[in-house]
Amino acid sequence: MSDDSTAPVSGRDDSLVLIAREGAIATLVINRPDKHNALSAPVRRAFLEAFSACSDDPDVRVIVVTGAGEKSFVAGADIAEFATRTPVDQYRAMRAPSPLEAIERSPKPVIAAINGYCLGGGLELAMACDFRIASDRARFGQPEINLGIIPGGGGTQRLPRLIGLGQAMRMILTGESIDAAKALRVGLVQEVVPGDALKSRVHEVALAIANKSPVAVAAAREATRAALQTPLAEGLRIERGLYLLAFASADKEEGVRAFLDKRPPHFTGH
């Protein structure tokens, strides 16, 4: 997806994660196409650095995550690293700061633009994003069982929450991948578009969100995420608190005034 990008790209061409900026939208491109963008430790570090630069930048309102090249979003953790790591090395690696937690903690919405294979840690990364738009060429799977291991980046927890226990169990126990049409049917992705339309469609959706109040977007995101992590009464309490935060914002004054004045709102994030 990055290859035809006309957006200014920062980072050297050989950077493991590139940042393409188009106005308020920052696209992080995982850039290791010769290894299907597998998430090695250096890729994870580069991702964290690029992600926090975008997340901390007040001019960025929406972050998109995608993979370089035509073939893969991310084909999982780097399997070559598994061959040499001791269990203690692996424990340390799993306790290191994680791209998934960074995405979840960020106040910015994060869209996964899935341009190809989305496997193992790649699917776990995509599931940590707020929602997923996929190319019709994408494929999805948790193939860890084929290596004699299990998903270790949240796959066993997030997949059943997204697509239900039976569908998740089938994917995790067989290791078989599913195509984009099935991913759409089971709710793993929210939209599927022809491969050459992925970039423009994701931009369109990102722009729609970028034009909302960043305060309301952050509050809505946090409240909605709480739905899967808390009992209903607790979730409703969280929603009320975040509603009142948005209600107290200058952007709420602007949104209500603009509606009454019959003009488009201009939100500043205050």
| Interaction between residue 144 and ligand COA (CB under 6 A) | yes
Please tell me the distance from the alpha carbon of residue 223 to that of residue 45, in angstroms, as a whole number: 29
Residue 141: CB minimum distance to ligand COA, A: 8
Among 43, 50, 62, 77, binds ligand COA (CB under 6 A): 77
Please tell me the distance from the alpha carbon of residue 82 to that of residue 97, in angstroms, as a whole number: 18
Cβ within 8 Å of residue 203, ≥6 positions away: 22, 25, 64
The answer to whether 119 and 151 have CB atoms below 8 angstroms apart is no
Residue 111: CB minimum distance to ligand COA, A: 22
Among 7, 19, 29, 36, binds ligand COA (CB under 6 A): 36
Nearer to ligand COA, 51 or 117 (CB): 117
Nearer to ligand COA, 35 or 212 (CB): 35
# binding residues, ligand COA (CB under 6 A): 15
- Annotated catalytic sites, by residue? 124, 144
| Interaction between residue 75 and ligand COA (CB under 6 A) | yes
Among 38, 184, 192, 209, binds ligand COA (CB under 6 A): 38
| Interaction between residue 111 and ligand COA (CB under 6 A) | no
| Interaction between residue 35 and ligand COA (CB under 6 A) | yes
**Part in contact with ligand COA (CB under 6 A); list of ranges 20-28, 114-122, 205-213, 243-251:** 114-122
Torsion on CA atoms 34, 36, 42, 46, rounded to nearest 10: 100
Angstrom distances, CA of residue 20 to CA of 32, 51, 64, 95, 203: 16, 12, 9, 29, 12
| Interaction between residue 85 and ligand COA (CB under 6 A) | no
Residue 239: CB minimum distance to ligand COA, A: 36
**Part in contact with ligand COA (CB under 6 A); list of ranges 1-9, 41-49, 77-85, 158-166:** 77-85
Residue 120: CB minimum distance to ligand COA, A: 3
* Contacts with ligand COA, residue ranges (CB under 6 A): 35-36, 38, 75-80, 117, 119-120, 143-144, 147
